[in-house]
Amino acid sequence: MNQITMTGDDWTSDRDRKAQAQAIAARKKTAQELTAQLEKSVAAMQKFINACSACGDPKVLNADDGRQRLREQMQEYATYLDTVTWTK
């Protein structure tokens, strides 16, 4: 008995293609919303870091400060989300 594998675009129904397109659109919209929120958070965190630095907090001046690294990583991820093409 042979079993046929039904994969690929030829075997995808219109309903499945529509559901996939909707899922991709929802992911893109969510990525855009997340990017906006991350950028707001990065700006707020930078403002806080600047305020701490103005007070002379020695921990903020340290390059290994977790706040600095978190801000950088959030900015990096926001940039990634903004530049990725969400087609598949």
In this prediction, residue 84 carries a pLDDT of: 78
Q: Please state, in angstroms and rounded to a whole number, the distance separating the CA atoms of residues 25 and 62.
A: 42
Calpha distance 14→43 (Å, rounded): 44
pTM: 0.70
Return the pLDDT at 35.
92
Q: Cα–Cα–Cα angle for 24, 14, 81, nearest 5°?
A: 5
pLDDT of residue 78: 92
Give the integer Cα–Cα distance in Å for 48 and 67.
9
d(CA 30, CA 43): 20
Q: What pLDDT does residue 44 have?
A: 95
Whole-angstrom distance, CA of residue 53 vs CA of residue 62: 10
Token pair 């594998």 is at which residue? 5
pLDDT tens-digit profile, the chain (88 residues): 555 555 665 666 788 888 888 988 898 899 989 999 999 999 999 998 888 888 887 766 666 678 888 889 999 999 998 887 665 5
Task: Return the domain boundaries, the chain.
Answer: 26-82
